A = this chain, B = another copy of it.
Amino acid sequence: MHLADEYRALKDAGRRDLGGVAVRNLLVLMTEQSHLFLRSAETKPLKSRVLDKSYVAFALGNKISRAVNAALFISDPAELAASLTAFADGSLARANPIGIQRTLYTLTMSFCAANDLWKVGDKKTPATYFEFLIGHLFAERLGVNPRKWIPVPGEARSSLPTDYIFELGPRRANFHLPVKLSTRERVIQAWAHQRVIDGIYGVKTYRGCLVVLAETKLDQKTLEVVEICLPLQWRVYQKYIAELWRIYYIDPPARYADLAGVKPIGVLYDELD
């Protein structure tokens, strides 16, 4: 089966049962296939302008993938197989934070980089894939599938489209889960939606939990990689729009390490439990 078909299957399975085993198996299969494809491509070192991080890109003909953090991407097939097994059988939750981080990074980046070279789908495809991956993780762990809307009081038969909303019932936390490959200007939407949710349901009813892959930007001409960070804007959004409970990064920028709520993805399982 071709990656594009699997992507369609993933969307179908995700709509039926996001936390289910069919989604998990498709994520594993798509990662294996993407990884196999990337191994046939050339690996190009990039010029890192980010302290203590080095990056590569995959290249095929005149096409080049996005920047891949060399320390987080699992390139060895045997190590990948072991990581995917742990992801598939659920034992990943008990791995160390670095292992969790590298596995989730590779699950995301294999498909994204393959899509850059192979054009499985349009620009939106990698973002949607990542949303399914993170949505699956939460759904599986929390034992409940999400909605993507909230009802609006006082408006008959009306709902507001949102990112994932997880409702766990009485005495347990609910979650509002925006998922982004990187933030840039659009991220203000996550805080604005949290504000609407807080306004309708009261603050702390839904924990806002933003999950981001990385803030990496590759200049295709110079092959330089930078991280684009706006810590001041984030503090302003947290203070004046709404408070997000957590911002999980798969590849956390060092400049965000001091911001309240920012955590590496490796602690996710512990925090959800």
Contact = CB atoms under 8 A, between A and B. Distances in A.
Contacts of A233: 160-161
Contacts of A241: 192, 195-196, 199, 241
Interface stretch (A23-31, A182-190, A262-270): A182-190
A235 B186 CA distance: 21
A185 B189 contact: yes
Contacts of A272: none
Contacts of A200: 240
Interface string A207-220: 00000000000000
A237 interface: yes
Interface in A230-267: 232-233, 235-237, 239-241
Contact of A186 (B161, B186, B193): B186
A235 B155 contact: yes
Given A189-B192, A191-B192, A196-B241, 6 more contacts: A158-B232, A160-B236, A185-B189, A188-B188, A188-B193, A192-B195
Q: Would you list the 5 A-B pairs with minimal beta carbon distance, nearest first?
A: A199-B240, A192-B192, A196-B240, A188-B192, A158-B232
